[in-house]
């Protein structure tokens, strides 16, 4: 499985969320940041991630949002963007996902 260092950094950040879940749940800013990471990861090609990594994303969404399917549907329907909430509208998930895909393509020749 090929992936850029930036993709690995996202997963490392999410693994930290899992380890600090109780603290993060009580902090709105940290919760939004964690859900923003999930939003970005769900916008990337699924084959970049192992089954265990995908399950970690679902676990974080379940713990911090409640319903992973609803969260993903709301993001797809553009009802909410945790990236925008976490960055006060300064960054957009689509732009970040495209940048990640471009990095991947530059490093590996394809997405």
Residue 110 pLDDT > 90, yes or no? Answer: no
Q: How far apart are CA 110 and CA 25, in angstroms?
A: 37
Measure the CA–CA gap between 94 and 24, rounded to whole angstroms.
25
Q: Tokens 């769900």, residue? A: 42
40: phi then psi, degrees, rounded to nearest 5: -65, -45
Q: What is the pLDDT of residues 56-92, one digit of tens each?
A: 999 999 999 999 999 999 999 999 999 999 999 999 9
User: Residues 16-49: pLDDT tens digits?
Assistant: 999 999 999 999 999 999 999 999 999 999 999 9
Of 8, 11, 15, 3, nearest to 106 by C-alpha is 3
Give pTM, 2 decimals: 0.94
């Amino acid at each position: 499985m090929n992936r850029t260092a930036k993709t690995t950094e996202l997963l490392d950040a999410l693994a930290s969320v899992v380890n600090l879940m109780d603290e993060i749940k009580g902090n709105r800013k940290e919760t939004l940041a964690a859900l923003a990471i999930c939003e970005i990861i769900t916008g990337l090609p699924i084959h970049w991630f192992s089954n265990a990594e995908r399950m970690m994303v679902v676990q974080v969404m379940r713990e911090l949002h409640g319903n992973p399917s609803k969260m993903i549907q709301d993001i797809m329907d553009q009802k909410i963007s945790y990236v925008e909430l976490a960055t006060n509208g300064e960054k957009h998930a689509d732009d970040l996902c495209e940048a990640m895909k471009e990095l991947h393509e530059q490093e590996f020749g394809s997405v």
